[in-house]
A and B are shown apart, each in its own frame.
Chain A
């Protein structure tokens, strides 16, 4: 493929384009025809319970697995037709990976740099910068075997970046890390976002990544159940908001009263007051407060709790999905 054609294709295409992507392993359908478009420069959080199809999608995008149907394109290149072009553009970090223990940190990165065809002179300049980025400069002569898990994760991230890919495919990059290592990983990802990389990241600690994720995609049983930015998805949820109500007295009476009100899907009582999963909009929420006041309940506070990504994830994946 000639250079001009490649550049034209890259310029026009979104970073990831997936249409009707399916993958079956015998009678098990890991992916059931998912559609997804991720523009360039987006940080995309891929959420779903174990076995939902996240890793399968990432393996297909990384040219390590052939799809059964549909297609996936990276930078305009079909992963099955132009795997060589796709590999140039991706940095893949699997959820579980090994390292060559008898390599030193520098040698490890030189090996992968050479494997991507980067001349030695360029690697000599590039690798110290990468080690600086992942805070491993002081470990450059250490054997990989001697690094902690967090350091190995960061080294693997540096390996992903050695050929300056446009897209980073990170499958659970923070799994198994202690809180400090997670924070370090998050900071590095923020830097990469600032560098304009497109990142697709799956994680069980998505709430921690909330501030850096532009969009999330929720996958369950091999199907995308929700895609969009966090606020959009929250607004589309059937259970839209969590209300917290504190009363001066008559708590039990208020509980029975609220159960009869419309849009109150679920009600929990704790020592601080009442928690309500409320399905109504702003007007209906105002009506609920008015009805409480009219009924003579002495309301101390009536507030909407912040919904985080984990709540969103749990709401969607409990089987309800979202209203379209």
Chain B
């Protein structure tokens, strides 16, 4: 009898499979890991100090620091960290398969007993664990916010969960491109392109479409405007944007505001059909799952389909 993948494996071996073990070991052994962590912390630290300095200068309050300013600092840090996650996640995942292909190690891996699912999920998990390590290492920076009050630990936890979701989402897109595209460079460019569209493109699209619809309602007059629904469908466009989604976690009233029908909808109770971040998560959970599923399907050739 030949080796069987499930033979004699304990729960630890099942949880930390060879591919995951290899990925984590090799990633942390490279000097790049240390430098990535260093520059990330340097960037977030500089941003935090710059934010404190600017807040104090602009408010003119000198040495004192009130909870409102602390909240603004938290928002600022949260958004900055989101930007850094968006910058880091594609870089850490867009080459995980294509680099193996370019280094000619992929075929050797594919002839082992490891399933395509194990390989893809392990690669995603290892990238994710490194990103989580980096993001967790920034928690001391947030301690500055707690020093002055204004933000609850629950809010902080929610924001970090949102980062985790963003990492999974961008990581799955990165792995998808890395699997279907042969070259790492093309894969990295494609992943950053999609990330840019998600962050900037969806925002621009929202404002353009919102203005077009507003102008249309304006030209139709008050009667048509009154017939307009209590919220605008264009709000669903901004639900694709992670900045808006994060902002809706920090300030829940944002969801309603972004869905209101501009100048015609003055109802204070009507707005978003659901919180913006929730819609965002539903959309991207589906897309991320599709990206991972496609990656698993495309990793090995489809042997039972004749070409």
The CA-CA distance from A111 to B304 in the complex, in Å, is 29
The answer to whether A97 touches B108 (Cβ under 8 A) is yes
Q: Does A274 contact B (CB under 8 A)?
A: no
The answer to whether A100 touches B26 (Cβ under 8 A) is yes
The CA-CA distance from A25 to B242 in the complex, in Å, is 42
B111: contacting residue among A69, A90, A107, A117, CB under 8 A? A90
Interface string of A47-75 (1 = CB under 8 A from B): 00000000000000011111111000000
A-side contacts of B300, CB under 8 Å: 63-64, 83
The CA-CA distance from A117 to B21 in the complex, in Å, is 14
The answer to whether B304 touches A118 (Cβ under 8 A) is no
B-side contacts of A90, CB under 8 Å: 111
Q: Does A96 contact B (CB under 8 A)?
A: yes
The answer to whether A119 touches B8 (Cβ under 8 A) is yes
Q: Does B1 contact A (CB under 8 A)?
A: yes
Q: Taking the nearest CB of chain B, how far is it from the CB of A268, in angstroms?
A: 43
The answer to whether B26 touches A103 (Cβ under 8 A) is yes
Number of interface residues of B (CB under 8 A): 38
The answer to whether A100 touches B105 (Cβ under 8 A) is yes
B110: contacting residue among A64, A68, A98, A117, CB under 8 A? A64
Q: Does A149 contact B (CB under 8 A)?
A: no
The answer to whether A114 touches B18 (Cβ under 8 A) is yes
Q: Taking the nearest CB of chain B, how far is it from the CB of A22, in angstroms?
A: 10
> Which residues of chain A from 97 to 114 have a CB within 8 Å of any chain B CB?
97-100, 102-103, 107, 111-112, 114
**Contact of A115 with B306 at beta-carbon distance under 8 Å, contacts A64-B107, A66-B301, A100-B22 already known:** no
The answer to whether A87 touches B302 (Cβ under 8 A) is no
A111: contacting residue among B8, B22, B301, B306, CB under 8 A? B22
Q: Does A257 contact B (CB under 8 A)?
A: no
A-side contacts of B3, CB under 8 Å: 88, 116-118, 163-164
The CA-CA distance from A309 to B169 in the complex, in Å, is 57
Q: Does B54 contact A (CB under 8 A)?
A: no
The CA-CA distance from A94 to B106 in the complex, in Å, is 11
The CA-CA distance from A68 to B22 in the complex, in Å, is 35
The answer to whether A66 touches B306 (Cβ under 8 A) is yes
The answer to whether B29 touches A102 (Cβ under 8 A) is yes
Q: Does A256 contact B (CB under 8 A)?
A: no
Interface string of B62-104 (1 = CB under 8 A from A): 0000000000000000000000000000000000000000011
B-side contacts of A103, CB under 8 Å: 22, 25-26
Q: Which 5 pairs between the two chains have the least Cβ-Cβ distance?
A: A88-B2, A117-B5, A114-B18, A98-B103, A115-B112
**CB-defined A-B contacts under 8 Å, sample of 6:** A7-B1, A96-B104, A103-B25, A114-B13, A118-B3, A119-B9
18 new A-B contacts, CB < 8 A, other than A94-B104, A103-B25, A117-B5, are A62-B111, A80-B304, A88-B4, A97-B108, A100-B22, A100-B26, A102-B26, A111-B18, A114-B13, A114-B21, A115-B18, A116-B3, A116-B5, A118-B3, A119-B7, A119-B8, A119-B9, A163-B3
